[in-house]
Structure 1
Amino acid sequence: MKFSHASALIAVILTASGCSTTNNVPEDVNSLSTSPQNPAQIFADTKDDFDEVRIKQNQSARLSRDEQIQLAVEAAVTDRVEPILMEQPRSRTIYFTFSKSSVESKWKAQLKEHARYISSDLSLRLMVAGFTDEKGAADFNLKLGKKRADNVCKKLVEFGARKEQLTCVSYGESHPADPGKDDASRARNRRAELLY
């Protein structure tokens, strides 16, 4: 009696962990080869090829983990798998002139790149944080940082980003990028950072 419970428990554990026996293989799988196949056979070239039949065939192929990894690598190398997300833009800082919040035209290309990236996936979120140098009152700097962040967000929306994906905040003079007290240091602190 105890032996039958133990063998039933082992069968449940093997089934739950993804192990299977050849007795449980559906009939249509017997026609499929279990040896590694051409990536084009497993990963479709276009979305149109991903119909229910292809998905069921791929799921029932019973490939080992190593075979799945090998096919995924081959498919990625041969451009059969489209990347989920484009690479994030590397330049993430916009600089401002002293006591100004308007975004200069020289930042247009960079902001367009961020807007294109954000619009590529609606699940992406971007926080735009506005900063100032230490000159001026703390309240003024907090408001100026917010204006800078808001103006960057407006430009991103203008270039195609969705407003719902953006959050605009101000840190004012806190968190300086450069703690120095000279003009060059202050110029590095007058910025907006685009944070994913």
Structure 2
Amino acid sequence: MFSKRLFEIMLCLVLGVALLFTVSCAKKQVAVSDATGVKSGVADDSADRAREAERARMMELERAQRLAQQQVEAFQNERIYFDFDRSDLRSEAKVILQKKAEWLRSNTEYRLVVEGHCDERGTNEYNLALGDRRANTTKDYLVALGVDDMRISTISYGEEKPLDPGHSEGAWSQNRRAEFRLSK
């Protein structure tokens, strides 16, 4: 009876040790497919770290793309304005163009189209020519600030694309402008 009891104790100890080794030595669980074919299970730490690093990299890339898009939109949404029947740059326009030139020098992958616009007063031909002078004056200033002239083109819309369709000095002052369109 004593030897049978000793045998049972020894058997339990051996099974316990074997079970302990089996459970404690597993580094990852075996992947098991469920009914949908999707694998489940716990991956080892290095795979988790790699996935987390990739997720962080993708989030940073998305953040950088959103920031770049916001910068492009801000660049394009900031216009410069001209006095009636004039194509020379106002002092506030020069400040805006200095910021734009700095941005363009830092972001050489972008090309720029400068659009010249006029108010409705004057003939179509005159306003197209005035819009052209406004666009070219703007381009020349950017080039003088160090932007490669091959990256900048101009177009005149004359009075054809008013920002404000009104027929007052307030509307006309908004329509005498240069706008900026970026492309890669």
Q: 1:71 to 1:137 in 2, by over 3 A?
A: closer
Are 2:172 and 1:186 aligned? yes
Structure with the larger helix share: 2
User: What is the one-letter code of the residue matched to 1:142?
Assistant: L
Q: Work out which of the two has the higher radius of gyration on C-alpha atoms and give 1 or 2.
A: 2
Aligned partners of 2:131, 2:158: CA distance in 1, in Å?
5
Offset of residue 121 of structure 1: 2.4
Give the alignment's TM-score, normalised by structure 1: 0.60
After TM superposition, the structure 1 = structure 2 runs for residues 40-189 of structure 1, keeping only pairs within 5 Å, are 63-64=50-51, 67-73=53-59, 76=60, 83=64, 87-88=71-72, 89-90=74-75, 91-189=77-175
Aligned partners of 2:176, 2:78: CA distance in 1, in Å?
14
User: What is the one-letter code of the residue matched to 1:173?
Assistant: E
Unaligned runs of at least 5 residues, structure 1: 1-32, 37-62, 78-82
Aligned partners of 1:185, 1:193: CA distance in 2, in Å?
16
Aligned length: 133
Higher RCO (CA < 8 A, seq sep 6+): 2
CA RMSD of aligned residues (A): 2.7
Give the alignment's TM-score, normalised by structure 2: 0.64
Q: 1:93 to 1:71 in 2, by over 3 A?
A: closer
Unaligned runs of at least 5 residues, structure 2: 1-45
CA contact (8 A) 1:101 1:147 kept: yes
Identity %: 32
